[in-house]
Amino acid sequence: MEKKNPIEEALRYVDNANTLLKEKGELDPETHSYTDRKYVKMAGNTLWNGMLFILDTVFQVKKNKKHRPDISDYQRVVGARDKKLLALVNIGYDIMHLSMGYDGIIDKKTCDRGFQIANEIIDRCAVMLPATPAA
């Protein structure tokens, strides 16, 4: 099986979340909000999983046999290397994982901010990955 470029794979998560909201998340133009929390939750979880994928790729967060990594594990390793990325991860966790994924916040501006932060995290991680030789 061919290994995919981790940046392209993380962007695929973002694209999948965006497609989900565009195709299934009915937007009320008067309130600038989505009408069904279900699709916001699905999109938020997809976005956050993409962030975990790229963070795991860049930082190789250790998986302990007793517990799965949690946000504090990511905060520790990211914060040791890049404080600006840590701030983005914290914001992303709040918006993508908690507000969108758990709470299903239907406000379009909040969801848009989640996508913006996801792309900023991916961009910041991209410069940390080792360069791959051209084929």
Predicted local confidence at residue 1, as pLDDT: 43
Residue 28 has phi, psi (to 5 degrees) of: -90, 110
Predicted local confidence at residue 2, as pLDDT: 52
- In order of start, what are the domains of the chain with their CATH numbers? 6-126 (1.20.120.330)
pLDDT, tens only, 51-98: 999 999 999 887 766 777 889 999 999 999 999 999 999 999 999 999
In DSSP notation, the chain reads -PPPPHHHHHHHHHHHHHHHHHHH--EETTTTEES-HHHHHHHHHHHHHHHHHHHHHHH-----SSS---HHHHHHHHHHH-HHHHHHHHHHIIIIIIIIIIT---BHHHHHHHHHHHHHHHHHHHTTSPPPPP-
What gap in Å lies between CA 30 and CA 98, rounded to an integer? 25
pLDDT, tens only, 102-122: 999 999 999 999 999 999 999
Q: Is the pLDDT of residue 131 over 80?
A: no
What gap in Å lies between CA 32 and CA 59, rounded to an integer? 37
Predicted local confidence at residue 61, as pLDDT: 84
Q: At what angle do helices 71-81 and 83-92 cross, to 10 degrees?
A: 150
pLDDT, tens only, 26-43: 999 999 999 999 999 999
Predicted local confidence at residue 83, as pLDDT: 97
Check: CB of residue 118 under 8 Å from CB of residue 14: yes
